Chain A
Amino acid sequence: MDLIALLAIQVLYAIASLALISVGLAIIFGMMRVINLAHGEFLMLGGYAAIVATSNGISIWIAILVVAPVVVGIIGIIVERTIIRFLYGRMIDTMLATWGLSLFLVGLTTAIFGNTTVGISAPLGSFQIGDYRTSGYTLFVIAVAAVTLGCIFATLRWTRLGLIARGTMQNADMAAALGVNPPRVYAITFGVGAALSGLAGAVLAPVSGVFPTIGVAYVAKSFITVIGGGAAILSGTVSASTLFGTINQIATFATTPVFGEVALLATAIVLIRLLPQGITGRFFRRGL
């Protein structure tokens, strides 16, 4: 029984972390059809932002929940203005340019912080489930994921900004005809997506540590989650991360973490082969 409870928490954690790392990418991809291969590096920058902030005496909660998203959000807007905006509609070229950006950011952080892993210790200690102990931070990650997804839902569903965003997403020309300025919406969306990535990177930094090439570990997973999820931002991210997270965690439990990851990636390939439009291309079509 305790083991099942523990496993349930682990599965929930896997789902939550997948959803967290993918949601920023999902917003950018869903909105602008931009495949941002520098996504992993945005997460990495979030981690570094949080670590630098805590080592300068800022409370760890503020560092993770405020500093990291703001810093990476600003970086995101700068990237959009200097690179991405010239490449809208050229999907392959955006992919290549953002890949170049990713190499650049890896090189830059290596030059600044060195090629070593830095970490912050996870707050919140651990708690007991029957015979097992698990980290309280796990629950924090799950909570952050839930709140983040809730906020995105609320914004998209009930605010004017969300309405404009959804409208531009569906038909940019029509939105422009009604007085919306699509380039501005795109810049803001890219910034928001980057900020969410920064948040995710910071939230996961105490778990995994941060090093310049950590983005590689994230980028493939977040991509397949977004593409596996399909066009709908929220329901896609949630359904795909539920599927992949569960499979990953169960395979990890049965074998090793490495083969858990392999199982995740293999499932993703089969899923994309079966449902090229992603899960929301066939199910939950009316979701957000």
Chain B
Amino acid sequence: MNARVLNFLGLGLVGIVGVAFLVLTPRLAELDTVLDLTIYMIMAILALSLALIWGYGGILCFGQSAFFGLGAYTYAIAMFNIGDSTVPLLLAIVLPAAFAALLGYFMFYGRISDVYLGVITLTVTLILFNSVNSTAGPEFHIGVARLGGFNGIPGIPPLNYPGNKAAVIDLEGMFYLSTAALLATYFGLRLLLASRFGRIIVGIRENERRAELLGYDPRAYKLVTFTIGGALAGFAGCLFANWGNFVSPTIFGLAQSAQIIIWVIVGGRGTLIGPIVGCIGVQWLSAALGANQPSGSDWWARLLANVPLILGIILVAFVLLVPKGLVPTLGDFGLWLVRSRGRRVATSLKPKQAEEG
């Protein structure tokens, strides 16, 4: 079995599992489980946005939550002003993409290196957090939507079917939409990465100077990658604002950015399925740990329920011990198993083959 067949088999498997999950879950699970799963799907789209720009583009963005938050806020504000959700949805994708393009132009055409890039994206996120956080007064409004500062914007109207304001998408509909969007994003990115463009950005990640000497302009390719990542994060933000009917500035916070990076590093850079797995796994773990807040003075229970502490340990442990992430490491392990098995079979077959030969 060569790599190509394996690749197609993997894609088919993801497709079948994804569609089965999409169709079966609302029929089999309770509504609150479906709600929980919806947020996992939304966050998985966010994880994919960073998987693209960091895992494949090699751009370490500490501020992916900036685009996510921008998408959520754009949707909320536009929704209060417009009413029908078609334009706000598009705006929530276009505006973060435009912001990413602007920021990317600034960074890539300034030829800023990896580390500084991390610091700049971090700083931008903090600027957004600080500015939005301080807009609590009634004088801060866009159209009829008040920004609300640290209180956030409550009561955001949900998405509706295009053109019909009354036909609001219900909770189950949100699940279908988010899961379908995740599947579409996954396959879309697979397609993109299999294309000429995808190969070039991976080439740039591997060796920027070489790609440049071969005649590709890394700045432009990185800019496009970054913009696509921003658009995806904005889209996820729009879905997020829909899911909770609420946004607050913590969406721009460092904790949020840290989470996204942890998902990708746990799942594995340079894969798409890894960050999805990492995202769902880490979120499930955080929810499970945070759910049973102990009231007593039991020290260990209190430490275990402390989500940042556990996330911190996970991040350090993965960087030190499993730097490639879960999925690539498991893949290597599987490959090693297959190979060693193959070798054993081969050696046991040798005499017979020799006879036949």
Contact = CB atoms under 8 A, between A and B. Distances in A.
A265 B126 contact: yes
Given A105-B312, A107-B310, A223-B119, A93 B112 contact: no
A269 B254 contact: no
A100 B316 contact: yes
Interface string A169-190: 0000000000000000000000
Most central of B115, B123, B124, B302 by chain A CB within 10 Å: B123
B126 A220 contact: yes
A108 B126 contact: no
A101 interface: yes
A151 interface: no
Interface stretch (B10-18, B32-40, B128-136, B169-177): B128-136
A92 interface: yes
Question: In terms of DSSP, what is the predominant structure of the interface of chain A?
Answer: helix
Contacts of A7: none
A99 B115 contact: no
A96 interface: yes
Interface residues of B, number: 46
A95 B118 contact: yes
B163 interface: no
Most central of A99, A106, A262, A272 by chain B CB within 10 Å: A99
Interface in B301-342: 302-303, 306-317, 319-320, 323
A4 interface: no
A104 B111 contact: no
B306 A111 contact: yes
Contacts of B316: 83, 97, 100-101, 104
A265 B312 contact: no
Nearest to B125: A220
A214 B227 CA distance: 32
Interface string B146-186: 00000000000000000000000000000000000000000
B130 A269 contact: no
B46 interface: no
A261 B132 CA distance: 13
B197 interface: no
Contacts of A86: 320
A46 B133 CA distance: 27
Contact of B127 (A83, A99, A262): A262
B319 A110 contact: no
Contacts of B307: 107
B265 interface: yes
A93 B253 CA distance: 21
Interface residues of A, number: 39
Contact of A97 (B112, B122, B319): B319
Contact of A100 (B115, B122, B123, B314): B314
B60 A256 contact: no
B120 A272 contact: yes
A35 interface: yes
B268 to A, nearest CB: 14
A269 B313 contact: no
Nearest to B308: A107
B114 A92 contact: yes
A261 B127 CA distance: 8
For the complex of A and B, list the 10 residue pairs with the smallest distance between their C-beta atoms, beginning with the closest: A107-B309, A100-B315, A104-B312, A103-B312, A100-B316, A107-B308, A258-B134, A97-B319, A107-B306, A273-B110
Given A107-B307, A265-B127, A273-B106, 20 more contacts: A87-B319, A91-B115, A95-B60, A96-B319, A97-B316, A100-B313, A100-B315, A100-B316, A101-B312, A108-B303, A110-B306, A111-B306, A220-B126, A223-B123, A256-B134, A258-B133, A262-B131, A266-B127, A276-B111, A276-B116
23 contacts: A35-B118, A92-B114, A93-B323, A97-B316, A97-B319, A100-B315, A100-B316, A100-B317, A101-B316, A103-B309, A104-B308, A107-B311, A108-B303, A111-B303, A111-B306, A111-B309, A216-B126, A220-B126, A224-B119, A256-B134, A265-B124, A265-B127, A269-B120
